[in-house]
């Protein structure tokens, strides 16, 4: 049995806490009207958001090479994305989440699972390079609007499309694939992972990283519930 590389759990756990902090700031600024210019009026918000989502996508892509059943993983992500869409549609706190980060991970995982025989023929180093170039080249595509309906999932939102969290396949599939090819590069080098990669210096973070999906589903309702409780007793 392959030994678990705990450093991925730790990184994912830290990123989950960062995500919770980001959403707490977002809620305070946009839902409760706090004056937070450092968050709402600077590039810091975009950098913080990218530091969270890119880590999730890179690690998810890496995990594709280690998973015994990527179709099952994709189905689990898809079910979670559906729950998020239903909850954010019914509870009109902010815009509903259409094609958010969990949808992106579900679609990317399914595509990689189905296209694995073809992807495995691509030299890993070339794969990373091409994917990062394509990610940068297509970055601005979903920031425009297009006169074609029903293609927002791909990266071509129409004028009526809105979402509280938007991660279409273009460009984010390329970031996911970069993680996949990075894993293959490491595996093909035949080098053993360093000892520290298997260690668990912060068990709480590692445990959180192993239960990232439930935390993702629950963290925003908990944050909003706490804020509502605080404001109700003021």
pLDDT for position 65: 92
Give tens-digit pLDDT for 202-218. 889 999 999 999 999 99
For the chain, the domains span 6-232
Q: What is the DSSP string of 137-164?
A: HHTTGGGS--S-TT-TTTT---TT---S
Q: What is the mean pLDDT of residues 207-234?
A: 90
How far is residue 62 CA from its own chain's centroid? 13
At 234, the pLDDT band (50, 70, 90 cuts) reads low
Q: What is the mean pLDDT of residues 166-182?
A: 97
Give tens-digit pLDDT for 180-206. 999 999 988 877 777 777 788 888 999
Contact status, residue 55 vs residue 18, Cβ threshold 8 Å: no
Contact status, residue 66 vs residue 2, Cβ threshold 8 Å: yes
Burial 100-128 (b: 16+ CB within 10 A, else e): bbbbbbbbbbbbbbeeeeebeebebeebb
Give tens-digit pLDDT for 125-169. 999 999 999 999 999 999 999 999 999 999 999 999 999 999 999
Q: Tokens 């990527």 sit at which residue?
A: 70
pLDDT at 1 over 60: no
Share of the chain above pLDDT 90, in %: 80
At 5, the pLDDT band (50, 70, 90 cuts) reads confident
Q: What is the mean pLDDT of residues 75-83?
A: 96
Q: Dihedral of CA 143/106/215/135: which sign?
A: negative
Of 140, 130, 146, 227, nearest to 182 by C-alpha is 130
Instruction: Bin 155: left if φ > 0, else alpha if -120 < ψ < 50, else beta.
Output: left
pLDDT for position 134: 98
Contact status, residue 109 vs residue 70, Cβ threshold 8 Å: yes
> How many Å apart are CA 138 and CA 76, to the nearest integer?
28
Average pLDDT, the chain: 93
At 2, the pLDDT band (50, 70, 90 cuts) reads low
């Amino acid at each position: 049995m392959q030994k678990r590389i705990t450093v991925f759990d730790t990184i994912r756990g830290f990123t989950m806490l960062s995500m919770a902090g980001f959403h707490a700031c977002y809620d305070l600024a946009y839902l409760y009207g706090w004056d937070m210019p450092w968050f709402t009026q600077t590039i810091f918000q975009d950098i913080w958001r990218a530091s969270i989502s890119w880590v999730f996508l890179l690690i998810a892509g890496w995990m594709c090479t280690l998973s015994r059943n990527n179709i099952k993983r994709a189905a689990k992500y898809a079910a979670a994305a559906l729950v998020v869409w239903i909850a954010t549609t019914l509870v009109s706190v902010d815009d509903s989440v259409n094609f958010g980060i969990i949808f992106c991970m579900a679609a990317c995982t399914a595509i990689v699972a189905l296209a694995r025989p073809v992807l495995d023929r691509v030299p890993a180093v070339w794969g990373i390079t091409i994917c990062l170039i394509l990610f940068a080249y297509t970055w601005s595509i979903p920031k425009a609007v297009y006169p074609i309906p029903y293609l927002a999932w791909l990266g071509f939102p129409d004028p009526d499309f809105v979402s509280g969290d938007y991660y279409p396949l273009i460009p984010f599939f390329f970031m996911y694939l970069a993680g996949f090819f990075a894993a293959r590069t490491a595996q093909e080098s035949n080098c053993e992972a360093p000892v520290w990669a298997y260690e668990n210096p912060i068990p709480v973070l590692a445990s959180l990283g192993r239960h990232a999906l439930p935390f993702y589903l629950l963290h925003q309702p908990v944050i909003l519930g706490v804020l509502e409780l605080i404001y109700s007793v003021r």
